[in-house]
A and B are shown apart, each in its own frame.
Chain A
Amino acid sequence: IAGITQAPTSQILAAGRRMTLRCTQDMRHNAMYWYRQDLGLGLRLIHYSNTAGTTGKGEVPDGYSVSRANTDDFPLTLASAVPSQTSVYFCASSKLAGAQETQYFGPGTRLLVL
């Protein structure tokens, strides 16, 4: 089934630990995105990639890093987790990077940092 998968579904993490959230899409979309969603706030863009081999910083990039070695995969790494990074993380993709492009979202990863 075409779409976006994320792993893990949920995770409890000790503060200070390193964690990589995985995201894979099989739609051959060029653009991919990482958002975090917190109660009472809108989705906030962490990092994005307009095409394989390129990445950019979003609204809230501090404490996170990404890579885009190929079209399908866009992992998000927390180098040293802090409790404020407790959130629901959504990966998304669009066919192209552009304002009119519909973004398709993965099921999310629920992360609790203690």
Chain B
Amino acid sequence: GQNIDQPTEMTATEGAIVQINCTYQTSGFNGLFWYQQHAGEAPTFLSYNVLDGLEEKGRFSSFLSRSKGYSYLLLKELQMKDSASYLCAGADSNYQLIWGAGTKLIIKP
């Protein structure tokens, strides 16, 4: 079966670093996405990885290991506005996205 696992909730402190992990099992693999979703709003694109390694984009970085079926999203210099849910999604062999339930990130001052 196809499955995406990520923690339900995490708490971090403003200014700190947090790593949100995601493990995936998909029928075939065509890349891994991270989206951000603020409460009551639509998901918005953060990153896409299809090759192993780290992709850095400002305060946000995303890592992929295809052999381990594992990805993480790294958020640096946390700001209060980073409080949101972070959704991990894997693209399967049919190019459909399989979504995790999301990790709710709570930032404390």
Chain A: residues with CB nearer than 8 A to chain B? 35, 40-45, 48, 58-59, 90, 97-100, 102-108
Contacts and interface: CB of A to CB of B under 8 A. Distances in A.
Given A100-B48, A107-B42, A41 B101 contact: yes
A40 B48 contact: no
A-side interface mostly: loop
A103 B97 contact: yes
Contacts of B30: 99-100
* 8 smallest beta-carbon distances between A and B, as pairs: A99-B30, A42-B99, A99-B91, A105-B42, A43-B99, A99-B95, A102-B45, A42-B101
A63 B87 CA distance: 26
B96 A42 contact: no
How many interface residues does chain B have, given as a range?
Answer: 20 to 34
Interface of B: 4, 30-31, 33, 41-45, 48, 50, 87, 89, 91, 95-102
A41 B45 CA distance: 19
A18 B20 CA distance: 41
Given A35-B99, A98-B95, A100-B31, 6 more contacts: A40-B101, A42-B87, A42-B98, A45-B96, A59-B96, A100-B91
Contacts of B97: 43, 45, 103
A58 B96 contact: yes
Contacts of A102: 33, 45, 48
A75 B31 CA distance: 28
Contact of B42 (A40, A48, A98, A106): A106
Nearest to A33: B97
A107 B41 CA distance: 6
